A and B are shown apart, each in its own frame.
Chain A
């Protein structure tokens, strides 16, 4: 099917699903505080329990190992700072690559600054938010523990949860977020291996096994668990759908010169496609596409403004490539038709931009 881009109404193609995903229309939760003694409270407690079991089922852990939080960032903070505080009296060694997400790197830095570092922790992401590179987490965890038997392995699972199969063997901590899986924002969670001691981030009524005090966001948690159930159940079907979308976009490689795919390894998530269109700044292309109704993001959105090197540069890509990087990220709700249209829009925009920028001095 050939689709023209001269459509009358503005396009609305959302390829920025690694930033956030539209929430699925799911049932509303009735209300009640799970800690209340009355009937409504008991209902809420049951709903919360069911949600916890649902998530545990997706992760392959026991419900008692799931702690609900306000999102991925809080989960990562709880994992890193909670661990550092719990191991205060030992020397700290935290290993995290410089291209990890700021919600991993910043707590590590904070822990070091506060001098509360202790113990040995190894952090890595399940799926890179930049390039989509997938890590075989249990194999990596096993390897890490072989070298450092006392190490604690923390996996930032935000981009992998419900999109990749999770095997938590040898993994001690695994974070996830609701709004990356169509489950609504303001909710997330952390798998904490049974027996691992963390110091809580918040004190109060002792909710979430004492690790995260404060009345649970029951409606958010219930919705996230529903979404996890839907996505987790259709994981391989979704991967196939999304792979087709990604494959369509990857045809750009053949259609345009000077286009590169940015990834460190061979095993890359079908949900993320990081491409460089040499000669055009990623930011510029993002604006052009947004003007035309195709929503994508820069390669390194979270820290594109800081003086620090971008994540892609940290991975070893050259400046030129890092600056011209654009990240397409997909969801099972995207279609190949959308990709077809988006591809054409990108192709034309890049050609046009290269033409106008191609003058003297470019």
Chain B
């Protein structure tokens, strides 16, 4: 069987049960589809979950990959439950369990928790007894910094478990409200979406499409990215928002060096409206400070007044390499490298302004605010929605 630990959730006093159930549901939903798993049940017990089947021979290798990415889980432990209580048998079982985990060349220690105080030995005595058996099988003891710790818990039943694999941590998906993610085809925005989702924010994705300046394939690419994210989150709602008209309108009305700032402001306008429609409470972008001209702090300052909600930028402080590493880890990298342009790269000036003045930008926008607002509404009305 598998023992699942969750970290931060247990710190939430009032909402703890609610959070626990959100993770539990996520685990159950992912196990349900498991082929040939038989009936697997998941139960909550003393601040952790137990995943097991009736026969007690759960195929951990099959279950683990399915639930590895559930947000809120910190650790997975291979575990074993037995009704046997005499110390000789327990030592044998403990040893076989440890050896059976297949570690090689690791140091270990045994740690015992004795909830059942009627058990005739102390925790230290039990640990020593079982540890001796494992030592005999050729493993070195290290009481201070062991590579692996075999946990033994004496309750009505006896449990053995070993922390085996890290979970992704975070908070249960959807527990922190909803946000609109501005999703392009690049490396950054999917990573930003993933990071916020991991903090419990439910993602509504918004993609700005500019035919004929970008290929229909760019849309496919974004759909594939959203589908990759949905592996962590469950189904993602993706809005495909036609942006060409706004883009051409802005091109007419502002100078080329400032165009990008205004384009991004327009996106924030649209995303804010969408957030209202979707009852979302924040916007999420993949901006990383200083990465390009429109991501300097000056630029960010000049664009944020377009947003009616807080704009969360989880990548603000990250270097590109770190972002790419995360993209690799979560599987969006190979989709993001597909070579289709997004709408921002089409009309870009050779040297766009990198220190725009907030007041000036707002002043210019005020001149055509009404027309722009109409275009924003129109764009949103003609958006297509996919469930990916």
Contact = CB atoms under 8 A, between A and B. Distances in A.
A and B interact: yes
Interface of A: 281, 283-288, 290-291, 305, 356-357, 359-362
Contacts of A291: 211-212
16 contacts: A281-B213, A283-B341, A284-B346, A285-B212, A287-B216, A291-B212, A359-B248, A359-B253, A360-B252, A360-B254, A361-B254, A361-B255, A361-B257, A361-B259, A361-B347, A362-B256
A352 to B, nearest CB: 11
A287 B256 contact: no
A3 B349 CA distance: 40
Interface string B210-233: 011111100000000000000000
Contacts of A362: 251, 256
Given A360-B252, A360-B255, A361-B251, 12 more contacts: A283-B215, A284-B212, A284-B346, A287-B211, A287-B212, A287-B216, A291-B212, A305-B339, A356-B251, A359-B248, A359-B252, A360-B254
Tell me whether chain A's interface is mostly helix, strand or loop, or mixed: helix
B251 A357 contact: yes
B284 to A, nearest CB: 29
A281 B253 CA distance: 21
A277 to B, nearest CB: 13
A361 B211 CA distance: 20
Interface in B220-271: 248, 251-257, 259
Interface centre among A286, A305, A356 (most CB of B within 10 A): A356
B215 to A, nearest CB: 6
A356 B256 contact: no
Contacts of B254: 360-361
Question: Which 10 A-B pairs rank lowest in CB-CB distance, beginning with the nearest?
Answer: A361-B256, A287-B212, A359-B252, A305-B339, A288-B212, A356-B248, A284-B213, A359-B251, A284-B212, A361-B255
A284 B340 CA distance: 12
Interface of B: 211-216, 248, 251-257, 259, 339, 341, 346-347, 349
B215 A287 contact: yes
Interface centre among A288, A357, A359 (most CB of B within 10 A): A359
Contacts of B339: 305
A287 B213 CA distance: 7
Contacts of B251: 356-357, 359-362
Contacts of A284: 212-213, 346
A359 B349 CA distance: 14
Interface centre among A285, A288, A357, A361 (most CB of B within 10 A): A361
A264 to B, nearest CB: 28
A287 B216 CA distance: 8
A305 B339 CA distance: 7
Contacts of A290: 212
Contacts of B259: 361
Contacts of B346: 284
A288 B214 CA distance: 10
Contacts of A288: 212
A357 to B, nearest CB: 7
Given A305-B339, A356-B248, A361 B349 contact: yes
A361 B212 CA distance: 19
B364 to A, nearest CB: 12
Contacts of A283: 215, 341
A285 B341 CA distance: 15
B102 to A, nearest CB: 42
A6 to B, nearest CB: 19
Nearest to B258: A361
Nearest to A356: B248
A208 B248 CA distance: 58
A282 B106 CA distance: 61
B353 to A, nearest CB: 12
Contacts of A305: 339
A359 B283 CA distance: 31
Nearest to A360: B255
B107 to A, nearest CB: 47
B18 to A, nearest CB: 48
A93 to B, nearest CB: 33
Interface centre among B211, B212, B216, B254 (most CB of A within 10 A): B212
A283 B215 CA distance: 8
B240 to A, nearest CB: 15
B215 A360 contact: no
Nearest to A353: B212
Contacts of B216: 287
B211 A360 contact: no
B253 to A, nearest CB: 8
A286 B212 CA distance: 8
A292 to B, nearest CB: 10
Interface centre among B252, B254, B256, B346 (most CB of A within 10 A): B252
Contacts of B253: 359-360
A286 B213 CA distance: 9
Nearest to B251: A359
B219 to A, nearest CB: 12
A205 to B, nearest CB: 37
Contacts of B211: 287, 291
A356 B347 CA distance: 12
A287 B347 CA distance: 16
Contacts of A359: 248, 251-253
A284 B247 CA distance: 14
A88 to B, nearest CB: 36
Contacts of A357: 248, 251
A144 B367 CA distance: 67
A288 B244 CA distance: 12
A360 B259 CA distance: 11
B181 to A, nearest CB: 26
